[in-house]
Amino acid sequence: MTETLEITTLRPAPGHTADDFVKANADIDAYLRRQPGFLWRRIVGTDDGRVLDIVAYDSLPHARAGAASITGEMADSPVHATIDHDSVDWQLTTALHHLT
């Protein structure tokens, strides 16, 4: 199965931590579970303080739809206050290899 990954790299907003970001994502998690083609999500931290938020979908069209509607439907999510928005790098990419 081909997976399309939505990969967002960010830094927490000043005064916030990666744990704050994770805790503020409860409504985003619920939103993702409702999206067609959603497979899984992982949030990881790096040694230099960045956060990688990786969401997998079953296709590029589903990934695009999920990402596009999140900015509207979830605009009031508390997660936005925990993000340094100048640090955000966002991309969609197709997984080349999958080992389970």
Q: What is the DSSP string of 11-77?
A: EEPTT--HHHHHHTTHHHHHHHHTSTTEEEEEEEE-TTS-EEEEEEESSHHHHHHHHHHHHHHTTT-
Provide the number of structural domains found in the chain: 1
For residue 99, being part of any structural domain is answered with no
Can you give the CATH number for the domain in which 11 is found?
A: 3.30.70.100
- Note down the domain range covering 33: 4-94
Q: What is the pLDDT of residues 49-100, one digit of tens each?
A: 999 999 999 999 999 999 988 878 888 999 999 999 999 999 999 999 988 8
For residue 78, being part of any structural domain is answered with yes
Would the pLDDT of 9 be above 80? yes
Q: What is the pLDDT of residue 95?
A: 92
Q: What is the rounded average pLDDT of the residues 40-45?
A: 98
Would the pLDDT of 1 be above 80? no
Task: Specify the pTM.
Answer: 0.93
